[in-house]
A and B are shown apart, each in its own frame.
Chain A
Amino acid sequence: MTGRPDQDGEQQLRLLDDAWEKASQHWLDGTARQFGDGHWASLLQESRGYLEALRKLMDTLDAAERDTEG
């Protein structure tokens, strides 16, 4: 990971989402539904909220550096 941290974090979330998509093709029972609606939904929601906040802050930091150069 060498890009902006928020972009790398988004990429990691996409990889995790892919893993869930793959697992959910095999794991189809009630436990899977409970897991998806509970643990997984909560994990995705919190991750997306954090990464969006991180992206905004990184944008602000980049803008601050640009605007105060020279």
Chain B
Amino acid sequence: MTGIHADIDALEELREALVRYRHAQREVAGRGADRIRAVRASLEAKALHGQTQLALCQAEFGACQDRAAQADPDDPVDCSGYARAAEQSEERLERIRRWQQRIDAEASEFAGRASRFLGLLDNDLPRVEQYLLALIASLEAARRVQAPAP
């Protein structure tokens, strides 16, 4: 160990930086997971609302078509506005569902990477920190041996 020309303070600072990094990235990972859950919940709520809206628009369009079927040919009922509203509601709901599917797929792909990273934070980094601690201890011991007698 006496051949190691390391500065003990620099190694200690590095070890402390690793500890801070581990805690900070744990928090980052937690916030990332929270964000995924929040957006998924938000899209689910939008999809439910979209379904309700679509059912309402379709019912209004159906009622209009019934009125149109019974209307005087000289005074026709125009249902195009209801048709457009129903179509737009359907498109919006489809868009929400496409995003839900895409996020499910991307979140699933991300989960593997996140799991490996959490494993690194929880298992590998503490071992690296222990390694540095042992190295610092051995350097301190070597320094004590080399120090001139008082």
Check: B52 CB closer than 8 A to any chain A CB: no
Whole-angstrom distance between the alpha carbons of A19 and B18 in the complex?
A: 9
Contact present for B6 and A68 (CB under 8 Å): no
Contact with A along B31-56 (1 / 0, CB 8 A): 11001100100110010000000000
Contact present for A29 and B36 (CB under 8 Å): no
Contact present for A5 and B31 (CB under 8 Å): yes
Contact present for B28 and A46 (CB under 8 Å): no
Q: How many A-B residue pairs have CB under 8 A?
A: 125
Using known A-B contacts A12-B25, A64-B103, determine if residue A57 contacts B14 with beta carbons closer than 8 Å.
no
> For A19, what are the chain B residues with a Cβ–Cβ distance below 8 Å?
13-14, 17-18
Whole-angstrom distance between the alpha carbons of A31 and B120 in the complex?
A: 21
Of the four ranges (under 10, 10 to 19, 20 to 34, 35 or more), the interface on chain A belongs to 35 or more
Name the prevailing secondary structure of the B interface residues: helix
Q: Of B6, B24, B46, B128, which contacts A32 at CB under 8 A?
A: B6
Check: B87 CB closer than 8 A to any chain A CB: no
Q: How far is the CB of A4 from chain B (nearest CB, A)?
A: 8
Check: B116 CB closer than 8 A to any chain A CB: yes
Contact present for A27 and B17 (CB under 8 Å): no
3 closest Cβ pairs, A-B complex: A19-B17, A26-B7, A50-B117
